[in-house]
């Protein structure tokens, strides 16, 4: 009881000193500087993850995400209406090297290797073989080409894009059905259903098709309780399973991409939530506050690498029939969609 009182008083005193200091610095014209230091202090785990991730990326002999980015660039080159007889000379050697090293070290997943080989094979069959391209081709031929790979994971004609009978009204129905649900049945969520939902989530767009993030799934109640309490925001309800969405800055060589894994993971999350609904489950996103104490806690529990960071959590389960759902009114198109807004 006393401990609680003293710790509360201690943190209140710190908050007061902070407030007074901020006012003082603003008074002498250094408010922004003070805010910058404070903000850096709060965000230091994410900033460090960015630093460590990009540094590791630039140093590595092979990197899955750089490889996937380069294969994506090749696919774009191969998709031009008029194919350039020579392109990608500046990165084709590096790409084949990544493939050779990644395959040798068994660090790349089968799917990425198969797609990579398929596209490289198409590339080498279409471009003129300059000296640089010939060197890369020999390396590709000599080491990996004959190990077998899918032949059809290459750019295809619009006419071959599968059609879809899903109507606007059907998508609207699913969107109305999906709401943040906070009351669940006491039923265990199986990992198979999560993997099935991910099969839809993985089809979301991602910057250069890297997908530099992971879904950490937990369905043991004790662990779920421990995890879901870390961010706060779920007081008063029981969640049977949780996905922690973890971003990975090792997929990027430049700090400009600070948002990329967050955007990519979030886009996939929306498809994931819809997929869950079609499988009879419901979900609730759980905010991730960038507060140092939470960061320390979650890093320890999940044993995150220095270049990884939490984006958000998703609580999920089978909805309880007697639970209540907040209405959550949405803002109208006339207010949110700015049409041909004036440019200055």
Rounded to a whole number of angstroms, the minimum distance from the CB of residue 15 to ligand FMN is 22
Residue 312 as a binder of ligand FMN (CB under 6 A): the answer is: yes
Question: Does the footprint of ligand FMN cover residue 233 (CB under 6 A)?
Answer: yes
Per-residue CA distances from 22 to 35, 41, 291 (Å) = 8, 15, 19
Which residues have C-beta within 8 Å of that of residue 51, sequence separation ≥ 6? none
Number of residues that bind ligand FMN (CB under 6 A): 11
- Select from 78-86, 130-138, 177-185, 214-222 the region that touches ligand FMN (CB under 6 A): 177-185
Q: Which of 79, 130, 229, 287 binds ligand FMN (CB under 6 A)?
A: 287
Task: Find the shortest distance in angstroms from Cβ 125 to ligand FMN.
Answer: 45
246 binds ligand FMN (CB under 6 A): no
Q: Is 285 in the site for ligand FMN (CB under 6 A)?
A: yes
Q: Please report whether residue 78 would count as binding ligand FMN according to CB under 6 A.
A: no
Q: Binding of ligand FMN at residue 294 (CB under 6 A)?
A: no
| Placement of tokens 């910057």 in the chain | 207
Q: Is 244 helix (H, G, I), strand (E, B) or coil?
A: strand
Token pair for 94: 């590096």
Tell me if 262 contacts ligand FMN by CB under 6 A: no
CB 299 within 8 A of CB 49: no
Q: How far is the CB of 315 from ligand FMN (least distance, A)?
A: 8
Would you count residue 284 as binding ligand FMN (CB under 6 A)?
yes
Beta partners for 285?
314
Q: Compute the distance between CA of residue 285 and CA of residue 269 in angstroms, rounded to an integer.
A: 9
329 binds ligand FMN (CB under 6 A): no
Evaluate whether 49 touches 249 at the Cβ level (below 8 Å): yes
Among 328, 331, 332, 333, binds ligand FMN (CB under 6 A): 328
Closest CA to 180 of 315, 324, 284: 284
Contact 249, 307 (CB under 8 A): yes
- The answer to whether 322 contacts ligand FMN (rule: CB under 6 A) is no
Among 44, 135, 179, 297, which residue sits at the site for ligand FMN (rule: CB under 6 A)? 179
Q: d(Cα 307, Cα 55) in Å, to the nearest integer?
A: 9
Identity of the residue, 25 or 237, whose beta carbon is nearer to ligand FMN in the bound complex: 237
The residue range among 34-42, 64-72, 126-134, 281-289 that interacts with ligand FMN, by the rule CB under 6 A, is 281-289
Cα separation values, 29 from 10, 17, 26, 35, 59, Å: 29, 18, 5, 12, 41
Instruction: Write the DSSP symbol of residue 324.
Output: -
> Residue 111 or residue 232: which is nearer to ligand FMN going by CB?
232
Judge contact between 31 and 22, C-beta under 8 A: yes
Question: What is the number of the residue whose Cβ is closest to ligand FMN?
Answer: 233
Task: List residues binding ligand FMN (CB under 6 A).
Answer: 179-180, 182, 233-234, 284-287, 312, 328
């Amino acid at each position: 009881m006393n401990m609680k009182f003293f710790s509360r008083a201690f943190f209140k005193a710190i908050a007061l000193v902070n407030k007074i200091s901020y006012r003082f610095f603003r008074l002498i014209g250094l408010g922004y500087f003070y805010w910058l230091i404070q903000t850096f202090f709060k965000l230091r785990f994410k900033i460090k993850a960015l630093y460590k991730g990009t540094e590791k990326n630039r140093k590595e002999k092979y990197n899955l995400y750089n490889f996937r980015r380069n294969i994506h660039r090749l696919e774009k080159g191969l998709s031009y209406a008029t194919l350039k007889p020579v392109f990608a000379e500046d990165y084709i050697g590096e790409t084949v090297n990544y493939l050779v090293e990644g395959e040798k070290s068994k660090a790349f997943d089968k799917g990425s290797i198969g797609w990579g080989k398929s596209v490289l094979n198409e590339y080498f069959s279409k471009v003129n073989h300059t000296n640089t391209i010939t060197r890369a081709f020999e390396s590709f031929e000599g080491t990996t080409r004959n190990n077998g790979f899918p032949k059809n994971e290459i750019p295809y004609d619009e006419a071959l894009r599968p059609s879809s009978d899903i109507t606007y009204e059907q998508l609207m129905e699913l969107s109305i059905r999906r709401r943040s649900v906070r009351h669940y049945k006491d039923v265990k969520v199986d990992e198979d259903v999560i993997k099935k939902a991910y099969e839809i989530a993985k089809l979301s767009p991602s910057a250069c098709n890297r997908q530099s993030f992971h879904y950490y799934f937990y369905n043991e109640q004790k662990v779920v309780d421990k995890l879901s309490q870390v961010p706060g925001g779920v007081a008063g309800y029981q969640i049977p399973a949780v996905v922690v969405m973890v971003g990975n800055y090792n997929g990027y060589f430049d700090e400009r991409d600070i948002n990329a894994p967050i955007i990519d993971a979030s886009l996939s999350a929306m498809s994931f939530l819809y997929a869950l609904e079609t499988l009879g489950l419901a979900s609730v996103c759980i905010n991730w506050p960038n507060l140092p104490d939470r960061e320390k806690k979650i890093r320890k529990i999940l044993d995150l690498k220095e270049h990884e960071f939490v984006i958000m959590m998703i609580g999920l389960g089978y909805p309880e029939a007697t639970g209540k759902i907040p209405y959550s009114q949405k803002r109208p198109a006339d207010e949110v969609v700015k049409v041909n807004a004036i440019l200055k």
